[in-house]
Structure 1
Amino acid sequence: MTIQWFPGHMAKARREVSEKLKFVDIVFELIDARLPLSSRNPMLDQIVQQKPRLILLNKSDLADINQTNQWLNYFRDQGHQVLALTAKDDKSVKQIVPASKKVLAEKIARDKDRGVKPRAIRAMVLGIPNVGKSTLLNHLAGKKIASTGNRPGVTKGQQWLRFGTQLELLDTPGILWPKFEDPAVGKKLALTGAIKDDLLHLDDLALYQLEIFCRYYPEQLKDRYKLTNEDLFLDFPELLMLISEKRGFRDDYERASEMLILELRQGKLGRYTLDRFEELSE
Structure 2
Amino acid sequence: MSVQWYPGHMNKARREIEEVMTQVDIVIEVLDARIPDSSQNPMLNTLRGDVPVLRLLNKKDLADSERLNAWLTHWSGHATVLAHPFSTVDKADVAKISQWVGQMVPHRGSAEKPIRAMIAGIPNVGKSSLMNALLGRRVAKVGNEPAVTKSQQKLKVTNGFQILDTPGILWPKIENPDASYRLAVTGAVRDTAIDYEDVALVGLAFFMSDYPNELITRYKLKHLDSDPYDVLKVIGSKRGALRSGGKVDMHKAAEVFLSDVRTGAIGPYVMETPEMIALEEQRVEEVKAKKEAARLARLAAAVPQRQQANNVAYRQAQAENQNDSTDEKE
TM-score by length of 2: 0.79
**Cα deviation 1:177-230 (Å, max 9, x = unaligned):** 0011111111111111111101111111111111111111111101110112xx
From 181, 187, 198, the equivalent of 2:175 is 181
Q: Paired residue for 2:265?
A: 268
Paired residue type of 2:5: W
1:100 lines up with 2:101 in the alignment: yes
Q: Paired residue for 2:89?
A: 88
1:162 lines up with 2:156 in the alignment: yes
Q: How far apart in 2 are the matches of 1:219 and 1:77?
A: 35
Q: CA deviation at 1:117?
A: 6.5
Residue pair 2:155, 2:162 contacting (<8 A) in 1 also: yes
Q: CA deviation at 1:118?
A: 4.9
Q: Paired residue for 1:195?
A: 189
SS in 2 for 1:56: strand
Residue pair 2:58, 2:126 contacting (<8 A) in 1 also: yes
1:257 lines up with 2:254 in the alignment: yes
**Cα deviation 1:19-64 (Å, max 9, x = unaligned):** 1122221111111111111000111222111112211111111111
Q: How far apart in 2 are the matches of 1:251 and 1:212?
A: 22
Q: How far apart in 1 are the matches of 2:233 and 2:52?
A: 50
Give 1 or 2 for the bigger CA radius of gyration.
2
SS in 1 for 2:30: strand
TM-score by length of 1: 0.92
SS in 1 for 2:60: coil
Q: Paired residue for 1:281?
A: 278
Uncovered stretches (5+) of structure 1, i.e. residues with no partner = none
Count of paired positions: 273
Larger helix fraction of residues:
2
Q: Paired residue for 1:235?
A: 227
Uncovered stretches (5+) of structure 2, i.e. residues with no partner = 280-330
Cα RMSD (Å) of the superposition? 1.6
Q: Paired residue for 2:220?
A: 226
Q: How far apart in 2 are the matches of 1:52 and 1:276?
A: 23
Q: CA deviation at 1:82?
A: 1.4
Residue pair 2:52, 2:104 contacting (<8 A) in 1 also: yes
Q: Paired residue for 2:44?
A: 44
Residue pair 1:67, 1:277 contacting (<8 A) in 2 also: no
Q: Paired residue for 2:73?
A: 73
Once the two structures are aligned, what percentage of the paired residues are identical? Answer: 42
Q: How far apart in 2 are the matches of 1:206 and 1:129?
A: 19
Which one scores higher on RCO, CA 8 angstroms, separation ≥ 6?
1
SS in 2 for 1:233: coil
